């Protein structure tokens, strides 16, 4: 398991070496079932380190023991901070990551981010994110939700922030509907990350 080392003096999450650090955010879409596969495929990339930040609802769709890296949740944010000198987890994760990949991004979290709401660990990382570093998001929702006019508006807001959309696809959804709204294939998502890995010169 790849686990960041805690710098006791400064509270920072640090890594040994100069790996490209990918923070994967996972939200409460059924596409979260693909998290173990996504993490394993990302770890196959050379010189890549991965950590995960999850919403509570996302945890309904995968087993933490199936994830080979550290998974951070809201519980960790509050347990880490007990006094003023303690590190703030969402800030430490923001500092640690070279790239933030939200896969899947469900309709609820999409709406939160578009409106600046930061009421859990994942959305706090987004709100604190360094806009000089890439943030990729992979929408995933029911076709009827995808087709609602508010969705296009909120997607446009995120892209206006400079975030990069990994477009959803057409397929038969778990709910039985067939249409657009499914998360992009894992191979496609990994290809997007590879593009940024290839152009990146990692600097601390």
Cite the active site residues: 175
Residue 124 lies in a domain: yes
Decide: 29 and 106 in contact? Cβ < 8 Å: yes
Residue 181 lies in a domain: yes
Residue 95 lies in a domain: yes
Residue 59 lies in a domain: yes
- 46 has which bridge partners? none
Q: Which of 10-14, 17-21, 55-59, 70-74 has the lowest mean pLDDT?
A: 10-14
Residue 151 lies in a domain: yes
Structural domain count of the chain: 1
Position 10 confidence tier, pLDDT thresholds 50, 70, 90:
very low
Pairing of strands 20-26, 48-54: parallel
Q: The tokens of 46 are what? A: 């050379």
DSSP 49: E
Residue 108's domain spans which residues?
A: 18-199
Asked whether residue 155 carries a pLDDT value surpassing 80, the answer given is: yes
Residue 9 lies in a domain: no
């Amino acid at each position: 398991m790849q686990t960041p080392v805690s710098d006791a003096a400064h509270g920072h999450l640090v890594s040994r070496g100069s790996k490209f650090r990918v923070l994967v955010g996972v939200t409460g879409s059924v596409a979260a079932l693909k998290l173990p596969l996504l993490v394993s495929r990302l770890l196959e990339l050379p010189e890549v380190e991965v950590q995960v930040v999850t919403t509570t609802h996302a945890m309904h769709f995968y087993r933490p023991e199936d994830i080979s890296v550290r998974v951070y949740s809201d519980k960790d944010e509050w347990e880490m901070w007990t006094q003023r000198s303690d590190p703030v987890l969402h800030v430490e994760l923001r500092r640690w990551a070279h790239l933030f990949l939200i896969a899947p991004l469900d309709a609820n979290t999409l709406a939160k981010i578009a409106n600046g709401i930061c009421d859990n660990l994942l959305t706090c990382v987004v709100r604190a994110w360094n806009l000089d570093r890439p943030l990729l998001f992979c929408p995933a929702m029911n076709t009827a939700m995808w087709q609602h006019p508010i969705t296009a508006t909120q997607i446009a807001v995120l892209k206006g922030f400079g975030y990069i959309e990994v477009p959803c696809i057409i397929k038969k959804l778990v709910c039985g509907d067939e249409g657009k709204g499914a998360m992009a294939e894992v191979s496609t998502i990994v290809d997007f990350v590879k593009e940024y890995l290839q152009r990146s010169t990692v600097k601390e």
